[in-house]
């Protein structure tokens, strides 16, 4: 495949228009898939594919044959996407500087919604409910749940610590989760 590209490039540089068409047809789908992943818009990607090949064919004489043609082509496509995304960036406003309008200066003030005491309280109550439910489990179920979900131990580690088979650990964790679901439903 690399050799095919090399032959087509030599023919294209020699002025054979069909070689350009063959290179385009051979690589346009892969270039399109790459570009669409970057720009997330198929119409814009189609335009960028055309621009990429125009740039690539315009600079074909600078291509170095010790590298894969696709690597060189994808680099052109990626740079083309980066340029496109930079141009597309939205204008932004500074929150620190006043905005000049025809009616004078306006300061931008935004409410801080990052802390919500009601949500915080609900999360704390839920966490307490879960802790209470875990504490109320029989000891053999409580210890596996604590090892697994509070201390992030693997099934194998829990089995080793408790000196029981891994299958028993899995069964106890399953049973403990079922008991927790019942207990937490009754707390609602």
Burial of 69 per CB tally in 10 Å (0-12, 13-18, 19+):
buried
Q: Residue 158: enclosing H or E segment and its boundaries?
A: helix 155-162
Q: How far apart are CA 170 and CA 79, in angstroms?
A: 51
Q: Where are the domains of the chain?
A: 2-88, 131-187
What dotted CATH number matches 2-88? 1.10.1740.10
Return the pLDDT at 2.
52
Decide if 2-88 and 131-187 have a common fold: no
Here the tokens at position 36 are 């669409």
**DSSP secondary structure string for all residues of 39-101:** H--HHHHHHHHHHHHHHHHHTGGG--TTS-HHHHHHHHHHHHHHHHHHHHPPP---SSSPEEE
Residue with tokens 């307490």: 128
Read off φ and ψ for residue 91, nearest 5 degrees.
-70, 140
44, HSE (Cβ side, Cα atoms, 13 Å): 16
What is the rounded average pLDDT for all residues in the chain? 87
Between 99 and 18, the higher pLDDT residue: 18
What is the per-residue pLDDT across 77-110, written as a single tens digit (0 to 9) for each?
Answer: 999 999 998 888 766 667 777 777 888 888 777 7
What CATH class does 131-187 carry?
A: mainly alpha
Query: Looking at the whole model, is its pTM more than 0.85?
Result: no
Give the bridge partners for 106, in sequence order: 99
């Amino acid at each position: 495949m690399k050799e095919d590209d090399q032959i087509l490039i030599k023919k294209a540089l020699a002025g054979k228009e069909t070689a350009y068409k063959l290179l385009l047809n051979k690589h346009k789908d892969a270039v399109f898939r790459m570009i669409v992943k970057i720009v997330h818009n198929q119409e814009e990607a189609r335009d960028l594919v055309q621009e990429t090949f125009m740039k690539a064919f315009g600079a074909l004489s600078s291509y170095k044959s010790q590298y894969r043609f696709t690597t060189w082509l994808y680099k052109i496509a990626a740079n083309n996407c980066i340029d496109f995304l930079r141009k597309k960036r939205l204008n932004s406003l500074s929150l620190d500087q006043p905005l000049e309008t025809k009616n004078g200066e306006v300061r931008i003030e935004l409410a801080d919604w990052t802390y919500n005491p009601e949500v915080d309280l609900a999360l704390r109550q839920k966490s307490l409910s879960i802790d209470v439910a875990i504490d109320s489990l029989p000891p053999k179920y409580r210890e596996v749940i604590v090892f697994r979900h509070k201390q992030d131990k693997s099934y194998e580690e829990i089995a080793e610590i408790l000196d029981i088979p891994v299958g028993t650990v899995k069964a106890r964790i399953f049973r403990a989760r079922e008991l927790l679901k019942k207990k937490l439903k009754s707390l609602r």
